[in-house]
């Protein structure tokens, strides 16, 4: 069983979470590189990380994203109490805010599997299985990352965005799962650059606020099952 250190920050500024991600990412990579120069009996055991958190209102733009997909100027961002950050994950623009559960796995995939597509599917599957426990049927859409409801219809709407970055087969960033999210903030962007589909949340679909801690417990269960991991 791979050992994964679980950290739950609760509500945390985006930059602070990114700084922590970067620190732990470098730690995982350095441990991997150092082990390569050591005989097996003296190598350090690799430790991976999984971060859960929520962010104050922030829009993040992936490295290949289009800044025109942010529909607010600097003044409007201030009025919305939101910030805008360019980052190094894949994907276009997305929103993070209170009520949205963000997961950042920092995994050395050399110890799991070296397959980016499979990794993204596993992140999606964690959410799909969690939603199923609330009787919400969800699926993937070919050619688009994330988790969707009514995926094959004109009513398709995204409930979870996925955007990752890998270097030396070590992961950063992850998924953003709309649990009790204020969906009005998505009106200020073209989410993930997609113009013909909407967004939703668990609260919207079920008509009530959802217990965030309960959702976390279910996500962690499916993470452990899929990645065959022990959480510390």
* Catalytically annotated residues: 192
Q: What is the dihedral of CA 158, 160, 166, 171, to 10 degrees?
A: -170
What's the CA gap between 78 and 49, in Å, rounded?
Answer: 33
| DSSP helix/strand/coil, 116 | helix
The count of other CB atoms within 10 Å of the CB of residue 90 is 17
The count of other CB atoms within 10 Å of the CB of residue 155 is 12
C-alpha distances out from residue 100 to 4, 37, 124, 180, 201, Å = 22, 42, 15, 6, 9
**What are the structure tokens assigned to 97, written together?**
């805010």
Q: Is 103 exposed, middle or buried (0-12, 13-18, 19+ CB in 10 A)?
A: buried
What's the CA gap between 22 and 16, in Å, rounded?
Answer: 10
């Amino acid at each position: 069983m791979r050992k994964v250190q679980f950290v739950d920050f609760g509500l945390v500024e985006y930059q602070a979470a990114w700084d922590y991600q970067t620190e732990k990412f470098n730690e995982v990579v350095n441990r991997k590189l150092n082990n390569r120069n050591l005989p097996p009996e003296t190598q350090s055991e690799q430790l991976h990380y999984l971060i859960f958190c929520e962010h104050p209102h922030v829009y993040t733009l992936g490295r290949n994203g289009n800044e025109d997909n942010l529909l607010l100027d600097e003044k409007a961002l201030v009025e919305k109490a939101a910030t805008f950050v360019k980052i190094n994950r894949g994907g276009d623009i997305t929103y993070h805010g209170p009520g949205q559960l963000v997961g950042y796995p920092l995994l050395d995939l050399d110890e799991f599997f070296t397959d980016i597509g499979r990794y993204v599917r596993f992140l999606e599957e964690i959410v799909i299985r969690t939603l199923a426990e609330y009787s919400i049927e969800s699926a993937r859409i070919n050619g688009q990352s994330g988790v969707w409801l009514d995926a094959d219809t004109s009513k398709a709407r995204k409930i979870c965005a996925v955007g990752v970055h890998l270097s030396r087969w070590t992961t950063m960033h992850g998924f953003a799962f709309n649990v009790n999210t204020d969906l009005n903030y998505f009106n200020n962007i073209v989410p993930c650059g997609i113009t013909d589909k909407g967004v939703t949340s668990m609260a919207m679909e079920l008509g009530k606020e959802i217990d965030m801690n309960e959702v976390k417990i279910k996500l962690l269960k499916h993470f452990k099952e899929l990645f065959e991991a022990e959480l510390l």
